[in-house]
C-alpha cells in the first residue's frame, strides 16, 4: 500500500491520471486489509462465522484429518469484505497444514478442493473443527497467526487471506447449521451453527 501511495504522490505531479489511479489502488488495498474490532459474544453452545462474506453452500463432507464425516459451510469473500479470519470456537490448535494448488475463482467448488489453501485443525469442547483459508483468482498469500499447541478463544483472530478468497468451516456431523446459501455473515459475530449442547462439555 505504501509504494502505491508514493507512486501516486510522484505521479500526481508528473502524470496526474497515473497518480490518481495509484491513489485509488492504494485506497482499495487499505480497505481490503482493514481489521475492525468486533464485539464477540462468547458462547460455547454455538459456532461463530470464521469469515466475512456470503455463504456459498452447506453440506456433508469427509474430513481426511479427523477421519470422520463433518458438515461444511463454505463462505465466499469478495474484494470488499474484511479479509481477517476468526476462530468460530474456543479450543486448542492441533495442527496447521498448507496444501499447494491453483488459483481458480474463489466462488467455485473447484476452488474449495483445488486451490492453494491452509487448514487449521481445532479440538474444542464440542468436538473437532476445521477452518480452511483458500486462495482465489486474485489472492496469492494466506497468513496465519497461530501454530499447533496454541490455546485460542472464540472470535480470536486466526489469520488473513490477501484479497478475494474462500473460507470453509467444518463442524461435527449432526451440528445444526443456522445459515443457508446466499446469506451474508460476519466473522466473530454471526452465529453460524448450534452445537446441540455439546459445547457445555
- CATH T-level assignment (fold) for domain 46-200: Glucose Permease (Domain IIA) (2.70.70)
Residue 165 bears catalytic tag: yes
d(CA 131, CA 88): 8
pLDDT band at 196 (very low <50, low <70, confident <90, very high): confident
Tell me the mean pLDDT in the region 30-50: 86
pLDDT band at 29 (very low <50, low <70, confident <90, very high): low
Query: Taking all residues of the chain, what is their mean pLDDT, rounded to a whole number?
Result: 84
d(CA 41, CA 154): 9
Note the pLDDT tens digit of each residue in 74-127.
Answer: 999 998 899 999 999 999 999 999 998 887 877 888 888 888 899 999 999 999
Pairing of strands 176-177, 117-124: unpaired
CA distances from 143 to 158, 161, 185 (A): 9, 6, 21
In this structure, the number of other CB atoms found within 10 A of the CB of residue 184 comes to 13
pLDDT band at 16 (very low <50, low <70, confident <90, very high): low
pLDDT (0 to 100) of residue 77: 92
Count Cβ atoms within 10 A of the Cβ of residue 108 and give its class: 0-12 exposed, 13-18 middle, 19 or more buried.
middle
pLDDT (0 to 100) of residue 106: 76
The full set of domain ranges for the chain reads: 2-32, 46-200
Tell me the mean pLDDT in the region 185-198: 89
Per cent of the chain over pLDDT 70 is 78
Q: Which residue in the list 11, 49, 135, 165 is annotated as catalytic?
A: 165
pLDDT at 3 over 70: no
pLDDT (0 to 100) of residue 31: 55
Amino acid at each position: 500500500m505504501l509504494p502505491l501511495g508514493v507512486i501516486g504522490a510522484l505521479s500526481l505531479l508528473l502524470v496526474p491520471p497515473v497518480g490518481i489511479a495509484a491513489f485509488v489502488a492504494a485506497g482499495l488495498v487499505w480497505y481490503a486489509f482493514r481489521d475492525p474490532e468486533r464485539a464477540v459474544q462468547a458462547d460455547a453452545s454455538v459456532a461463530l462465522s470464521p469469515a466475512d462474506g456470503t455463504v456459498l453452500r452447506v453440506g456433508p463432507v469427509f474430513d481426511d484429518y479427523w477421519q470422520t464425516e463433518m458438515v461444511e459451510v463454505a463462505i465466499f469473500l469478495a474484494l470488499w469484505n474484511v479479509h481477517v479470519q476468526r476462530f468460530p470456537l474456543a479450543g486448542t490448535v492441533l495442527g496447521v497444514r498448507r496444501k499447494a494448488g491453483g488459483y481458480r475463482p474463489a466462488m467455485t467448488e473447484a476452488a474449495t478442493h483445488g486451490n492453494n489453501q491452509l487448514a487449521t485443525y481445532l479440538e474444542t469442547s464440542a468436538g473437532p473443527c476445521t477452518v480452511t483459508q483458500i486462495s482465489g483468482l486474485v489472492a496469492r498469500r494466506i497468513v496465519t497467526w497461530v501454530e499447533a499447541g496454541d490455546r485460542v478463544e472464540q472470535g480470536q483472530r486466526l489469520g488473513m487471506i490477501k484479497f478475494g478468497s474462500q473460507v470453509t468451516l467444518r463442524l461435527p456431523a449432526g451440528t445444526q447449521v443456522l445459515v443457508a446459501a446466499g446469506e451474508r455473515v460476519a466473522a466473530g459475530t454471526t452465529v453460524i451453527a448450534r452445537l446441540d449442547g455439546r459445547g457445555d462439555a
